[in-house]
Chain A
Amino acid sequence: MTAPVRLLQCTVNGRATAVAVAPHRTLLEVLRYQLDLIGSKQGCDKGDCGACTVQVDGVPKLACLTLAVAVEGREVTTVEGLGERAGGCHPLQDAFDRHDAAQCGFCTPGILMAADALLRRVQRPVTPDEVRAALAGNLCRCTGYTKIIDAVVDASRRLSQP
């Protein structure tokens, strides 16, 4: 059974967005295949890997398990919006670059969105354990995590400098 499409209205990366969606489409499918925002990755597609992590009203969530119609009226931020918010390159992205925290890069967008949510929530330098806890839903199969944790800690310090 295919139900009729409906108009979804929400904010995506700061822009008012209206898009026709079928009720069984996930937020990830709409972002990637209807809005061409391919930064959020389709990994396991069932909640294990975290590659699809986006922020909904600032809270990091899995776009692969979110129905698109459920973000009606809400604010969605993807990795594309993270860079835009910082006018090009976000301090987290810069730190990932300097620490070689990305290898294949597939998990990076999801990790950036989970890390950004942590830094925005606490608004101070974070400890490696806090980063580990906040990124406990994001798998990386290349780096071994150490460089990712270093990068997030470093970015949190730089962001906290006056």
Chain B
Amino acid sequence: MRLISGRMRKVLKLEHVDAFYDRSQALDDVSIEVREGEFVTILGANGAGKTTIMKCIMGLLPPRNGRILFGGEDLTGRPAWVRTEMGMGYVPEGRRVFPDLTVEENLRMGGYNLKDHRALRRNLEWAYELFPRLKERRKQLARTMSGGEQQMLAIARALMIEPRLLLIDEISTGLMPILVNHSFNVIKDLHQRGITILLVEQNANKALKVADRGYVLEIGRITLQGTSRELRDNEEVVKAYLGS
């Protein structure tokens, strides 16, 4: 439904965003957009500013200049905690599950802003259906789970609000190769179910296989953009990110 009616609608738009940590600039004139139903990726090396973009979008680091629009609404000056209510699901870098809460409590926190009890139940069931492993471990403290399980929990937590846009900050870091593949398959599957995704990644190779479009971020600037195919065929991208 979403796919057909809103194919061209912009979900997210960053306009000329500058961000700073104290006096050091981390983002310089970043403009990107994500349309309904798309899977967009932002590629960049360590320290390029990928996480900073995510923090700006989530309201954890307010941009110094520029605007961020979500569903046409200007987010400038709005606190981080309105994001989930508006439909942004966030999978932070390094998973960041609440270590001393159980799996189920973590998921409930994901759905913290759901007003409707039935929606909470339903989405909990949905999360368990997607990740049966989490259901087996629902009473277990998140800190005692393996890295891969925590990654699944972080994704499931973000799905609890049935997000309009899923923001993922590096799906692959710190996981063994087999789990990296699994994680990419999971988000590819979520995209096929109609969820709009913005993924920031270092693993360009994998990201460009699942995304529709991509941007390349270098030291805080967007230097290239295009469809995944264009980027995969681009010499500079191949040289810098895809290896030989």
A and B co-occur in one complex? no
